[in-house]
Amino acid sequence: MRHLTRRLATAAAVAATLTGVSLVASPAASALAPGTLFQYGALSCKALAAADGDGLVECTGQQGTNWRSVVKCTWGLTYYGNWQNNYLGGTTQSRADSNCFWGVADVTVTGS
């Protein structure tokens, strides 16, 4: 019985460590006000709000991971932009068709 308990404890520790490693491997993103410039991994990005109420993120640089914008409207609704990948470099834009009537509260980048 002691060996089974020890094995279960070891398996739980390994699972927790692997979960932590996968969370650390992806770049962190936090909610940003429209107009903010920020770094997402190797990309230089800008959080934007369009005149029609859509939120978007525009990133320049070269990075092989997938990313997209997450837009929160002032009244709390959340919308997701299209997936993008800058593996060839250049400038790419992820736009969420949010149509935030009362305005965009914040824009976030998330990765896959």
Per residue in 57-106, pLDDT (tens digit) is 999 999 999 999 999 999 889 999 999 999 999 999 999 999 998 889 98
Residue 21 confidence (pLDDT) above 80: no
The full length of the chain comes to: 112
Question: What's the confidence (pLDDT) of residue 23?
Answer: 34
Question: What's the confidence (pLDDT) of residue 88?
Answer: 93
Residue 43 confidence (pLDDT) above 70: yes
Residue 40 buriedness (CB in 10 A; 0-12 / 13-18 / 19+): buried
pLDDT band at residue 2 under the 50/70/90 scheme? low
What is the rounded distance in angstroms from the CA atom of residue 12 to the CA atom of residue 7? 9
pLDDT band at residue 108 under the 50/70/90 scheme? confident
Q: What is the mean pLDDT of residues 32-39?
A: 89
- Nearest alpha-carbon partner for 69 in 51, 47, 87, 90: 47
Question: What's the confidence (pLDDT) of residue 33?
Answer: 85
